[in-house]
């Protein structure tokens, strides 16, 4: 079936798949909870029942966070690939996630008793710092939009920022607080954290959708986009702000979960083409499905213990990145 002509049908099928996967995810954990109990916990909550208490306080917030982070990282990756015309761009590869992680580590060191809102602002600042460094390197090199150069520069900057983060957390003795978080994970999250993240996610998605037509112009090349009346500087700036909002907020809550923003935009373009008015909504749904599914694997493989969520996404994303790098190198 040609999904490019019926993106609404594809979106509906993905939404149904997400609902089914989410429903099953709520039943899985160290303690199996049947669907009727989950439904009762959602519509007629009784805190005296242990299973219903688990659903309301642990599993529902975790599920909502997985959906929000999947949407955030996926849409951010789609925007980055669109504005740079670089198929290897993603928040994790371009250093944005690592920059946000550094900002959050600095917030925990300097303001250990601050609110989560302050931590999110520090994460925004770190993500912006990483972006500025990479763009400065690209401009200095004279190959601003070279896919291979940007990927290499992003990987190098990401490694440096992560090394600085690790050095800071060890020196200031906050490594224990950040060790699981730096690998990317959503266990132990509570509803106030989820409610803090979702407004930022919605703001970023609305900005991405409003810019989708302009980002589509960029995918045809900068010269053609300018010829068609696109304001490149304004488009890239606003898209960059949307990326910082999406990545900074998600990293502040869940840690630098990698490769979601690399894989899902490619899947979306394969299904609906290069029109970002279709790519961004489909990417959001695919990102949510990927992270909910990955979280399901995290809880199932070594139950009752868990492995970091970032490890599962890396198992998917690293081979895909190597495939893209090899394909670009062959050209």
pTM of the model as a whole: 0.89
- Domain residue limits at 83: 65-185+200-330
Q: What is the pLDDT of residue 227?
A: 63
Nearest CA among 80, 100, 102, 66 for reference residue 291: 66
- Judge whether residue 139 has pLDDT over 80: no
Identify which has the larger pLDDT, 134 or 229. Answer: 134
Does residue 136 lie in a domain region?
yes
Q: What is the pLDDT of residue 1?
A: 62
Alpha helices in the chain (DSSP H): 7-27, 35-43, 50-54, 60-84, 96-110, 116-141, 147-171, 175-182, 191-219, 222-227, 232-254, 260-272, 276-301, 309-330
Residue 279 CA to chain centroid, in angstroms? Answer: 15
pLDDT class of 240 with cuts at 50, 70, 90: confident
Q: Are residues 281 and 12 in contact, defined by beta-carbon separation less than 8 angstroms?
A: no
Mean pLDDT of 139-154: 65
- Judge whether residue 208 has pLDDT over 70: yes
Which of the listed ranges 90-94, 136-140, 183-187 does the model predict with the highest average pLDDT? 90-94
Does residue 7 lie in a domain region?
no
| Secondary structure class of 201 (helix, strand, coil) | helix
- Judge whether residue 290 has pLDDT over 90: yes
The Cα-based distances of 123 to 5, 207, 249, 282, 302 in angstroms read 39, 19, 7, 27, 31
- The token duo for 282 is 């489909």
pLDDT class of 183 with cuts at 50, 70, 90: low
Q: What is the pLDDT of residue 59?
A: 92
Does residue 262 lie in a domain region?
yes
Does residue 249 lie in a domain region?
yes
Q: What is the pLDDT of residue 283?
A: 96
Q: Per-residue pLDDT tens for 56-110?
A: 999 999 999 999 999 999 999 999 888 888 887 888 888 888 888 888 889 888 8
Torsions phi, psi for 311 (to 5 deg): -70, -35
Does residue 30 lie in a domain region?
no
Looking at the chain, the whole-number percentage of residues with pLDDT higher than 70 is 88
Q: Per-residue pLDDT tens for 259-287?
A: 899 999 999 998 998 899 999 999 999 99
Mean of per-residue pLDDT scores for the chain: 85
Q: What is the pLDDT of residue 116?
A: 76
The Cα-based distances of 328 to 146, 241, 322 in angstroms read 11, 28, 10
d(CA 202, CA 67): 12
Q: At a CB cut-off of 8 Å and minimum separation 6, what does 168 contact?
A: 102, 105, 106, 109
Does residue 194 lie in a domain region?
no
Q: What is the pLDDT of residue 209?
A: 96
* CB-CB neighbours of 60 under 10 Å: 18
Q: Are residues 269 and 227 in contact, defined by beta-carbon separation less than 8 angstroms?
A: no
- Judge whether residue 296 has pLDDT over 70: yes
pLDDT class of 2 with cuts at 50, 70, 90: low
Does residue 180 lie in a domain region?
yes
CATH number of the domain that residue 302 is part of: 1.10.3470.10
| Secondary structure class of 28 (helix, strand, coil) | coil
pLDDT class of 181 with cuts at 50, 70, 90: low
| Secondary structure class of 130 (helix, strand, coil) | helix
- Judge whether residue 330 has pLDDT over 50: no
Mean pLDDT of 213-237: 73
Q: At a CB cut-off of 8 Å and minimum separation 6, what does 128 contact?
A: 99, 244
Q: Per-residue pLDDT tens for 3-45?
A: 888 889 999 999 999 999 999 999 988 888 999 999 999 999 8
Does residue 49 lie in a domain region?
no
Torsion angle of the four alpha carbons 224, 225, 229, 232, in this order, in degrees rounded to the nearest 10: -140
Structural domains of the chain, count? 1
* CB-CB neighbours of 50 under 10 Å: 10
- Judge whether residue 328 has pLDDT over 60: no
Q: What is the pLDDT of residue 230?
A: 62
Q: Rg for the chain (alpha carbons), in Å?
A: 20
The Cα-based distances of 68 to 61, 194, 205, 226 in angstroms read 10, 8, 10, 34
């Amino acid at each position: 079936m040609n999904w490019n002509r019926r993106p609404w049908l594809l979106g509906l099928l993905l939404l149904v798949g997400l609902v089914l996967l989410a429903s099953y995810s709520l039943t899985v954990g160290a303690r199996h909870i049947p669907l009727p109990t989950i439904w009762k916990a959602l519509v007629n909550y009784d805190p005296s029942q242990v299973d219903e208490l688990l659903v309301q306080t642990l599993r529902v917030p975790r599920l909502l966070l997985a959906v929000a982070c999947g949407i955030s990282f996926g849409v951010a990756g789609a925007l980055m690939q669109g504005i740079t015309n670089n198929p290897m761009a993603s928040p994790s590869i371009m250093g944005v996630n690592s920059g946000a992680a550094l900002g959050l580590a600095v917030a925990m060191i300097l303001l250990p008793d601050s609110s989560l809102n302050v931590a999110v602002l520090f994460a925004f600042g770190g993500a912006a710092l990483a972006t500025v460094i990479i763009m400065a390197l690209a401009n200095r090199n004279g190959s601003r939009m070279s896919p291979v150069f940007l990927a290499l520069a992003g990987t190098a900057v990401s490694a440096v920022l992560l090394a600085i983060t690790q050095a800071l957390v060890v020196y200031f003795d906050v490594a224990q607080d950040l060790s699981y978080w730096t690998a990317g994970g959503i266990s132990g999250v509570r509803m106030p954290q989820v409610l803090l993240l979702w407004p930022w996610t919605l703001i970023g998605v609305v900005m991405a959708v409003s810019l989708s037509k302009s980002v589509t112009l960029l995918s045809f090349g900068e010269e053609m986009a300018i010829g068609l009346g696109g304001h490149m500087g304004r488009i890239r700036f606003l898209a960059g702000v949307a990326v910082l909002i999406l990545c900074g907020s998600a990293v502040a809550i869940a840690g630098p979960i990698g490769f979601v923003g690399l894989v899902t935009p490619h899947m979306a373009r394969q299904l609906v083409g290069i029109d970002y008015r279709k790519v961004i909504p489909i990417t959001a749904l695919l990102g949510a499905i990927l992270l909910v599914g990955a979280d399901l694997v995290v809880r199932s493989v070594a139950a009752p213990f868990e492995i970091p969520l970032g490890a599962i996404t890396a198992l998917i994303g690293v081979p895909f990145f190597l495939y893209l790098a090899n394909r670009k190198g062959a050209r």
